[in-house]
Chains A and B, each alone.
Chain A
Amino acid sequence: DAKTTQPNSMESNEEEPVHLPCNHSTISGTDYIHWYRQLPSQGPEYVIHGLTSNVNNRMASLAIAEDRKSSTLILHRATLRDAAVYYCILRPLISNDYKLSFGAGTTVTVRA
């Protein structure tokens, strides 16, 4: 499985943007980039996913580098509720198998 590399932790101030980087230099052309987050004492929840183009939804934006070897999850205005562990995961496009391999993720702390 292609691996991802994320910083262990990041801090942000409330109402400021947060940019979470993810390196995936061994990504293949058929790998989706998925982001999940896990709030304290909760199961992971889906945030966003993309293949080649940048993606936006109500929770966040996903910016994918042109060579696809890295991506950035952007939280436009952090709130206290965004404090969580964020996981960047690769999943093969051609597979009907949706199982995800989680790393340690990035722990995001939001200061009031």
Chain B
Amino acid sequence: EAGVAQSPRYKIIEKRQSVAFWCNPISGHATLYWYQQILGQGPKLLIQFQNNGVVDDSQLPKDRFSAERLKGVDSTLKIQPAKLEDSAVYLCASTRREDTGELFFGEGSRLTVL
């Protein structure tokens, strides 16, 4: 079974530029999450999708961050304009609806904002 795919793995941009990250969850996983992990900290949830609907985006800085999952499969997280404090690893995770107790994470996309 293929894991959660994310791209790009690394991205360096200047502040005020925009960036987009892509995630393809494990086939059949209805729930998809985006997490932000700043160096030295645990991951922090940004947004949760159930199929193509948003379940929780209370922690998403909506003035600059946006995310979509139009067809209920892959998802894109966008930052525009980026700030220095957005430098972090952006992790995508997915799970089936049934309670398996397990979240599957991708390897993450590391963003550096200069």
The answer to whether A and B assemble together is: yes
Q: Which residues of A contact B (CB under 8 A)?
A: 32, 34, 36, 41-46, 49, 85, 87, 96-105
6 contacts between A and B (CB under 8 A): A43-B93, A44-B91, A46-B101, A46-B103, A49-B101, A103-B42
Q: Which listed residue, A32, A41, A43, A105, touches B42 by the CB 8 Å rule?
A: A105
A34 lies within 8 A of B44 (CB):
no
Please report the C-alpha to C-alpha distance between residue A45 and residue B43 in the assembled complex, in whole angstroms. 12
Least CB distance, B30 to chain A, in whole angstroms? 11
B45 within 8 A of A: yes
Q: Which listed residue, A34, A44, A103, touches B105 by the CB 8 Å rule?
A: A44
Please report the C-alpha to C-alpha distance between residue A36 and residue B93 in the assembled complex, in whole angstroms. 13
**Which residues of B have CB within 8 Å of A105?**
42
B62 within 8 A of A: no
Please report the C-alpha to C-alpha distance between residue A41 and residue B103 in the assembled complex, in whole angstroms. 18
Please report the C-alpha to C-alpha distance between residue A6 and residue B97 in the assembled complex, in whole angstroms. 29
B43 lies within 8 A of A32 (CB):
no
B107 lies within 8 A of A42 (CB):
yes
B87 within 8 A of A: no
Please report the C-alpha to C-alpha distance between residue A99 and residue B48 in the assembled complex, in whole angstroms. 8
Least CB distance, B88 to chain A, in whole angstroms? 13
B43 lies within 8 A of A46 (CB):
no
A97 lies within 8 A of B105 (CB):
no
B101 lies within 8 A of A97 (CB):
no
**Which residues of A have CB within 8 Å of B55?**
97
Nearest A residue to B91 by beta-carbon distance?
Answer: A43
**Which residues of B have CB within 8 Å of A41?**
107
**Which residues of B have CB within 8 Å of A32?**
101
**Which residues of B have CB within 8 Å of A45?**
105
**With A43-B93, A49-B101: A99-B45 Cβ-Cβ less than 8 Å:** yes
The 7 closest A-B pairs by CB, nearest first: A43-B105, A102-B42, A46-B102, A49-B101, A102-B43, A98-B95, A44-B105
Least CB distance, B1 to chain A, in whole angstroms? 14
Mark each residue of chain B from 49 to 68: 1 if its CB lies under 8 Å from any CB of chain A, else 0. Answer: 00000011000000000000
